[in-house]
Structure 1
Amino acid sequence: MYLSKMMKVPQVESKLRVFCFKIQFRTQVSEFKRSLNTVNSACNEVRNFLKLKDLMKKILYLGNTLNQGTARGLSFCWIHGLGLAEFMHSDDLFKLIVYLKVCILSLFCSICILLDFWCSMISAVFCLAGCIYIIDYSSSQYFDNEF
């Protein structure tokens, strides 16, 4: 009985969609805020994660060492850590290979430590993307039917 009366109301479908959007909007905004806070805390962790900074410094230093003497080798100045002079040997190629082994092993250890951190950050990003999709889909339905 109620549904048959509702069907006689003009534009009932669009009115029900607007009503549904108004009901769901607050919960969607609160879920979006929660996801945004999760991503914000993950970004703060990335900014304050010393291992990541150390890893980036090592990568840049390794690139500068390989490109030494060219314009590409001047991108980052690293004064800490191991230098090529610490690997004294008569063969310069051997020094470079030993140095690269040490750098790569150090980078590999840092990457292994970061894997767990990245997994948690990826899940936060997927959560945020899902919330953005839901809000975008709901708002597009609302605006498509209202105008």
Structure 2
Amino acid sequence: MTPEPSYVVDTSVLVRWYLAQVGWEHARKVRDLYIGGEIELVTVECARYEMPWVLRKKGLLAGALTLPEYLAASRTIDDFGIAVFVPDADAIEECAALSVTHGITFFDAMFVLHSLRSGSVLLTADQRLARSAGSLVATAVLEGI
């Protein structure tokens, strides 16, 4: 039996499960494949905070989500059972270094580091991140971006 493909999903992918931003069709296909057990997804601890923050601004306050939809979406990572990488002090230091050496945000460096450590493909809607991280890890950008 072949193992399922594994992806580190960043916040830009998770947000598109709820908002019809460019690339949302592919993001929702990824979600459905995960729910069906065909692929494995993992994310990093900061996504548990970043996703509700983005959905509040771009979803709830913009009128794209109702309060009940927003509240339910804020639980997605946990309710869907997506594995979460929780960094220790060494990982945080490594992310700080990656953010400087590769010109990416500290938060993006968290996703890159876990992809690097796990060997999983980094799936994102951020072309700039994919370019910056492409020399370190395998990356994939959502279709339609």
How does the TM-score come out when normalised to structure 2? Answer: 0.26
More helix by share: 1
Higher strand proportion (structure 1 or 2):
2
Larger Rg: 1
TM-score, normalised via structure 1 length:
0.25
Structure of higher RCO (CA pairs closer than 8 Å, 6+ residues apart): 1
